[in-house]
Amino acid sequence: MEQNYSNYTDEDRKVWKVLFDRQIDNLSKISSQEYLDGLTRIDFNADKIPNFENTEQRLQNYTCWKLHVVPSIIPVKDFFELLIKKQFPATTWLRKMTELDYLEEPDMFHDVFGHVPLLTNDAYTGFFLGIAEISVKHLDNEYAQELLGRVYWFTIEFGLIRENGNVKAYGAGLMSSLGESKYSMTNEPQKFDFDVKTILNTSFRTDIFQDKYFIIDSYEQLYNCVPEIEKELDAMLQLQS
Ligand SMILES: [Fe+2]
């Protein structure tokens, strides 16, 4: 599959612009600086739906990750097998104006605006690759996938980071959601320091705003904890068998 760039409609361009403008205003206050720098590095802006060819050329200057066009959510096995090849699965379709804040499943604003800017960061992509490599070793083990899914969820999708003494957001689920990113900054949800063991033991729901978030100190911390994830995961799998 390829991105058919000439197929985008005026409504698509309008949706991208409205979502981008609205979210960038919000993110300038609450997002990780590294994410905002990533947006600049890959040259995303409100006036142009990203063209994957250009985006990949930009990524070439940083981590050499590529985008792999998918129609919608793909099986976990396919997902992680793409990631170990440094290919990020991304949809190319955009939500309608009538559903700006509610989506049945991730569209391009989530996959591309939410995920791609941090694909310019070496430590972040090293971590991403690391959990993908662990995951492909356990593709037939549902329990292992559930546990790794927790790590993915509380970092890549809904992670928070401490920057200059302030808590900021970096997870793609937050970057692409006006409502949840604002909510994540309030005192309503519980916030914990990042801890591999705790995360592996924390289940989550996908149908509500999170009631717990985990805060990393740096992207290097994520990268450096990959061996610990594998060790703790193996210990939990042993206990279960
Ligand atoms: Fe996502």
Asked if 227 and 134 count as a contact pair (C-beta separation under 8 A), the reply is: no
DSSP summary character for residue 171: -
| Token pair listed for 98 | 């009538």
List 161's β-bridge partners, or say none. Answer: 168, 216
Q: Tell me, in angstroms, the distance from the centre of ligand 1 to residue 232's CA.
A: 24
Beta-carbon neighbour count of residue 7 at 10 Å?
9
pLDDT of residue 222: 98
pLDDT digits (tens, 9 = 90+) for 104-152: 889 999 999 999 999 999 999 999 999 999 999 999 999 999 999 999 9
Asked if 155 and 170 count as a contact pair (C-beta separation under 8 A), the reply is: no
| Token pair listed for 191 | 């916030």
Please list, in sequence order, all residues whose beta carbon lies within 8 angstroms of the beta carbon of residue 40, skipping any fewer than 6 positions away.
Answer: none
Q: Tell me, in angstroms, the distance from the centre of ligand 1 to residue 173's CA.
A: 6
Q: Tell me, in angstroms, the distance from the centre of ligand 1 to residue 52's CA.
A: 17
What value does the mean pLDDT take over residues 62-79? 94
Q: Tell me, in angstroms, the distance from the centre of ligand 1 to residue 213's CA.
A: 16
Band (62; pLDDT cuts 50, 70, 90): very high
Backbone region of residue 50 per phi and psi (left: phi > 0; alpha: psi in -120 to 50; beta: other values): beta
Q: Tell me, in angstroms, the distance from the centre of ligand 1 to residue 106's CA.
A: 7
Could you tell me the domains of the chain?
5-240 (1.10.800.10)
Q: Tell me, in angstroms, the distance from the centre of ligand 1 to residue 110's CA.
A: 6
pLDDT of residue 178: 95
Q: Tell me, in angstroms, the distance from the centre of ligand 1 to residue 94's CA.
A: 14
For the chain, helix, strand, coil in percent to 5 are: 55, 10, 35
Place of tokens 């739906």: 49
3-class secondary-structure state, position 71: coil
pLDDT digits (tens, 9 = 90+) for 42-60: 999 999 999 999 999 999 9
Q: Tell me, in angstroms, the distance from the centre of ligand 1 to residue 241's CA.
A: 31
Q: Tell me, in angstroms, the distance from the centre of ligand 1 to residue 67's CA.
A: 13
CA max distance for the chain = 55
Q: Tell me, in angstroms, the distance from the centre of ligand 1 to residue 158's CA.
A: 9
Q: Which of 62, 13, 56 is nearest to 38 (CA)?
A: 62
φ/ψ of residue 4, rounded to 5: -95, 85
C-alpha to C-alpha distances, 30 to 44, 98, 123, 134, 220, nearest whole angstrom: 18, 26, 21, 31, 20
Q: Tell me, in angstroms, the distance from the centre of ligand 1 to residue 7's CA.
A: 24
Q: Tell me, in angstroms, the distance from the centre of ligand 1 to residue 98's CA.
A: 21
pLDDT digits (tens, 9 = 90+) for 71-102: 999 999 999 999 999 999 999 999 999 999 87
| Strand ranges (E), 42-193 | 66-69, 87-90, 160-163, 166-169, 190-193
Q: Average pLDDT over the chain, rounded to whole?
A: 96
